[in-house]
């Protein structure tokens, strides 16, 4: 038996717009996540109902308790607390999250709150293009302070912005669809900087306002292998990690961009506008931990500059190529999910070691999971051995990383139950609990524990997995 520390946090995760539903109920405002989901509502489910956690949270938390969860990582919807982002506070929203938090604590489950998970208030996007303006920094700081005051007596672990390093690559999530192509990279760099500044203020305020509060960022982790042992390819793999994740961790942990990133921003003439007070604010922010989201690894080769590839220009979004730096290639040694994520538990161990070696901060896994189309069998069950196999291999990688010396204090896979996938609706399911609905038929939203639910229940009970 591979046993974990007796205080290890076993849990699971979700996000507000993907699980709650009740998108405009009790004063909630519309978010960018809502707006984007409605654009695709003819092809898949949207945020209007999602998994309807808003109306089922008590029974859902009972299932979390039954599974044995020690911690629940979930996000608060900014638009439930402040519907237009920077105006009146909505007491009904505060009441809802107070009820959720109290219910979790009554069931001996630690609440672990994400303040912002891809759901900027739409009003701020319309008012001043959201994160492109410093006004959004002030609005977010105020929102975070409202949450600390309302919930900080009971919530002691906070994660500020989920996967900023991934979110910034996706135009839709940043409300950048209407930004002219010639201006996109400069706007993107400015938005990214403002989110770093907002995160810095939120981390400092947490330490000031929440007694014994702990706070940190969550990153979409990147581990890239070179496609060959050519030095150029080794460098390209390193730079892919640097440009997609490591630059962000450097800013979170040390308060400044690393040299390679400064060089790129300056040569591209897109270095963000700053103010003299920013440097002190960024350096004063000290994360207590790093939250790691891990799904796959990548492979890269050097991408030279030529007539078709102008230096510094990127191609694509999430797994973009960068001219003069790197080009992403498939890894022939790995199998992939039906949605293209290459499955690599060894990469998980590597990335945890890499981050701990560089930043020497405790870590918690806040996302890791297998998304696929689960099907109810004739006996009304979900037999998802494929998910069990995936999770077992990745939990083993966590155990091995701890033996390597990594300080890992929790594992919260994605997701606690089936939730709305941003791009595949309810066709792509991650949960331990099946939500019986389709994209266009809500049925009764019945909750059905999967085989993986009972397997994870035993993992938690045994505080480890069998060899």
**Per residue in 367-387, pLDDT tens?**
999 999 999 998 889 999 999
The structure tokens listed for 373 are 């189309």
Catalytic choice (30, 172, 301, 367)? 367
Assess if residue 52 is contained within a domain. yes
Banded model confidence at residue 172, pLDDT cuts 50, 70, 90: confident
Q: What is the CATH number of the domain that holds 419?
A: 3.20.20.80
CA–CA–CA angle 146, 124, 270 (5° rounding): 110
Q: Which of 206, 171, 187 is nearest to 273 (CA)?
A: 187
* Active-site residue flag, 88: no
CA–CA–CA angle 128, 130, 134 (5° rounding): 80
238 burial via Cβ count (<10 Å: 0-12, 13-18, 19+): middle
Residue 306 has pLDDT above 90, yes or no: no
Query: What is the C-alpha to C-alpha distance for residues 418 and 374, in angstroms, rounded to an integer?
Result: 10
The pLDDT tens digits of the residues spanning 222-260 come to 999 999 999 999 999 999 999 999 999 999 999 999 999
Assess if residue 320 is contained within a domain. no
- Average pLDDT of the residues in 421-441: 94
Catalytic choice (163, 172, 250, 301)? 163
Residue 177: CB atoms within 10 A of its CB come to 9
- Element (H or E) spanning 162, and its range? strand 157-162
* Active-site residue flag, 163: yes
Residue range(s) defining the domain that contains residue 199? 2-296+337-465
Assess if residue 94 is contained within a domain. yes
Check residues 399 and 171 and name the one with the higher pLDDT: 399
Assess if residue 278 is contained within a domain. yes
The structure tokens listed for 362 are 């405790």
Kindly report which listed range (16-20, 49-53, 167-171) carries the lowest average pLDDT score: 167-171
Please, what is the average pLDDT of the chain? 96
Kindly give the pairing relationship between strand 327-329 and strand 321-322: unpaired
Assess if residue 309 is contained within a domain. no
- Exposure string over 115-153, b if 16+ CB within 10 A, otherwise e: bbbbbbbbbbbebebbbbbbbbbebbbbbbbbbbebbbe
What does the pLDDT read at residue 176? 79
Assess if residue 210 is contained within a domain. yes
220 Rama class: left (phi>0) / alpha (psi -120 to 50) / beta: beta
What does the pLDDT read at residue 391? 98
Contacts of range 422-426, beta carbons closer than 8 Å, 24 or more positions apart = 422/18, 422/33, 422/36, 422/37, 422/118, 423/40, 423/44, 424/44, 424/339, 424/371, 425/43, 425/44, 425/45, 426/44, 426/45
> How many domains is the chain partitioned into structurally?
1
Assess if residue 315 is contained within a domain. no
Kindly report which listed range (9-23, 65-79, 302-316) carries the lowest average pLDDT score: 302-316
**430 near 394, Cβ under 8 Å?**
no
Its pTM stands at: 0.96
Residue 307 has pLDDT above 90, yes or no: no
């Amino acid at each position: 038996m591979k046993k974990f520390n007796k205080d290890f946090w076993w849990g699971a995760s979700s996000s507000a717009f993907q699980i709650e539903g009740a998108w405009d109920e009790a004063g909630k405002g519309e978010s960018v996540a809502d707006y984007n989901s409605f654009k695709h509502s003819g092809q898949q489910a949207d945020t209007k109902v999602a998994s309807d956690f808003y109306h089922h949270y008590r029974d859902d938390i009972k299932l979390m308790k039954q599974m044995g969860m020690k911690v629940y990582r979930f996000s608060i919807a900014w638009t439930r607390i402040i519907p237009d982002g920077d105006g009146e506070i909505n007491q009904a929203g505060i009441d809802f999250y107070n009820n959720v938090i109290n219910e979790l604590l009554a069931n001996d489950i630690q609440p672990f709150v994400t303040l912002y998970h891809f759901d900027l208030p739409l009003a701020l996007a319309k008012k001043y293009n959201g994160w492109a303006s410093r006004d959004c920094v002030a609005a977010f700081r105020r929102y975070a302070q409202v949450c600390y005051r309302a919930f900080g007596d009971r919530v002691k672990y906070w994660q500020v912005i989920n996967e900023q390093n991934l979110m910034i690559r996706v135009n839709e999530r940043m409300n950048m669809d209407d930004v002219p192509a010639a201006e996109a990279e400069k706007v993107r760099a400015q938005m990214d900087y403002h989110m770093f500044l907002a995160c810095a203020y939120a981390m400092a305020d947490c330490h000031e306002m929440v007694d014994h509060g702990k706070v940190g960022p969550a990153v979409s982790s990147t581990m890239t292998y070179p496609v060959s042992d050519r030095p150029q390819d080794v460098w390209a793999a390193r730079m892919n990690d640097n440009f997609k994740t490591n630059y962000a961790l450097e800013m979170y942990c040390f308060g400044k961009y690393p040299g390679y990133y400064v060089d790129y921003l300056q040569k591209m003439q897109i270095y963000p506008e700053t103010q003299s007070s920013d440097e002190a604010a960024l350096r004063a922010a000290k994360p207590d931990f790093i939250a790691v989201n891990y799904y796959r690894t990548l492979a890269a080769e050097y991408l030279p500059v030529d007539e078709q590839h102008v230096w510094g220009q990127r191609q694509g979004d999430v797994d973009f190529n960068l001219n003069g730096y790197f080009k992403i290639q498939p890894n022939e040694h790995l199998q992939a999910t039906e949605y293209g994520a290459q499955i690599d538990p060894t990469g998980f161990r590597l990335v945890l070691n890499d981050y701990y070696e560089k930043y020497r901060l405790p870590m918690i896994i806040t996302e890791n999971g297998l998304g696929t189309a689960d099907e109810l069998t004739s006996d009304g069950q979900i037999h998802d051995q494929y998910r069990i196999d995936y999770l077992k291999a990745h939990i083993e990688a966590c155990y091995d990383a701890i033996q390597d010396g990594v300080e890992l204090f929790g594992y919260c896979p994605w997701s606690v139950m089936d939730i709305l996938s941003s791009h595949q609706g309810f066709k792509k399911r991650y949960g331990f609990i099946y939500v019986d609905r389709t994209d266009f038929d809500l049925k009764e939203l019945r909750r059905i524990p999967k085989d993986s639910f009972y397997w994870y229940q035993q993992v938690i009970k045994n505080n480890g997995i069998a060899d």
